[in-house]
């Protein structure tokens, strides 16, 4: 039995959760409450010293980094297949997943902080306390800027450009079929889903998708798959809505 250390709305967790569901792989979930500091629990830090989710345990081995976990699941559980066989299509998949890891993942965090989480850090004291808990100086500088300046932060403006670039690449990929893997629902589809969904959660999706109609149609197809409800919708709580 696989074990997944997860959170409800974590985009990185959702990538892995979608992959597990699409491959029909049973697993045991362990909820890590990120909003209340569960990632800093000493027992969890033994599993993931980086204090982030997800972490996957399989056969007593710990796997970290969501995209790397996805590739591992594809190798360890090859059916149903979630990577195309054509080398060019595989290249496109890996390129999209690289873009999602960097710069989109930090961009997503910055947009979320600027739109949704900034209200929880409305005073200099609250911001300073938050900064004390972030060991990475680059991440600390980005969050300080966003919590202080909101959507006027240069980091947020850069995040918007990064998202536009990803959606443009997705639009090109969708010329070849209904999915980012052509006719095949792929690891890249699972990887991109939570990042596009986050735009809807923040109520800013229309601003981005107006120039990317194929991505909008793709997301409509994504939302009716059984995995979307199990990996995303069923996890959405009042705490998340707040």
Verdict on whether the full-model pTM lies above 0.85? yes
Quickly list DSSP for 18-56: HHHHHTT--EEEEE--GGGTGGG-HHHHHH-TT--S-EE
CA distance 227 to 25: 12
137 compared with 8, residue with greater pLDDT: 8
Q: Residue 63 pairs with which residues in a beta bridge?
A: 56
Q: What is the band of 8 on the pLDDT scale with cuts at 50, 70, 90? A: very high
> What is the percentage of the chain residues whose pLDDT exceeds 90?
79
Q: What is the pLDDT of residues 22-70, one digit of tens each?
A: 999 999 999 999 888 899 899 999 999 988 999 999 999 999 999 999 9
pLDDT of 114 over the 80 cut: yes
Q: What is the pLDDT of residues 70-97, one digit of tens each?
A: 999 999 999 999 999 999 889 999 999 9
Instruction: Provide the token pair at 138.
Output: 């680059």
pLDDT of 106 over the 90 cut: yes
Q: What is the pLDDT of residues 210-225, one digit of tens each?
A: 999 999 999 999 999 9
pLDDT of residue 127: 86
CA distance 18 to 16: 5
pLDDT of residue 212: 96
Q: Report the b/e string of 131-162 with b at 16+ CB within 10 A.
A: beeeeeeeeeebbbbbbeeeeebebbeebbeb
CA distance 69 to 65: 6
pLDDT of residue 140: 87
């Amino acid at each position: 039995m696989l074990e997944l250390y997860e959170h409800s709305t974590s985009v990185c967790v959702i990538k892995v959760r979608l992959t597990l569901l699409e491959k029909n792989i049973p697993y045991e979930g362990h909820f890590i409450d990120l909003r209340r500091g569960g990632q800093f629990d000493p027992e969890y830090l033994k599993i993931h010293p980086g204090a982030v989710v997800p972490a996957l345990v399989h056969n007593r081995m710990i796997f970290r980094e969501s995209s790397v976990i996805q590739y591992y699941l594809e190798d360890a559980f090859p059916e149903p297949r979630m990577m195309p066989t054509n080398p060019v299509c595989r290249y496109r998949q890996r390129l999209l997943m690289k873009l999602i890891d960097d710069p989109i993942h930090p961009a997503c965090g910055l947009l979320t902080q600027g739109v949704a989480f900034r209200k929880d850090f409305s005073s200099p004291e609250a911001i300073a306390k938050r900064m004390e808990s972030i060991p990475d100086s680059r991440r600390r500088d980005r969050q300080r800027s966003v919590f202080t300046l909101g959507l006027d932060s240069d980091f947020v403006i850069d995040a918007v450009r990064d998202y536009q670039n990803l959606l443009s690449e997705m639009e090109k990929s969708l010329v070849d079929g209904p999915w980012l893997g052509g006719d095949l629902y792929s690891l890249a589809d699972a990887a991109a889903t939570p990042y596009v969904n986050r735009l809807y959660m923040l109520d800013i999706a229309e601003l981005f998708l107006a120039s990317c109609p194929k991505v909008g149609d793709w997301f409509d197809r994504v939302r009716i798959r059984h995995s979307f409800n199990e990996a995303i919708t069923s996890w959405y709580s009042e705490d998340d809505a707040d």
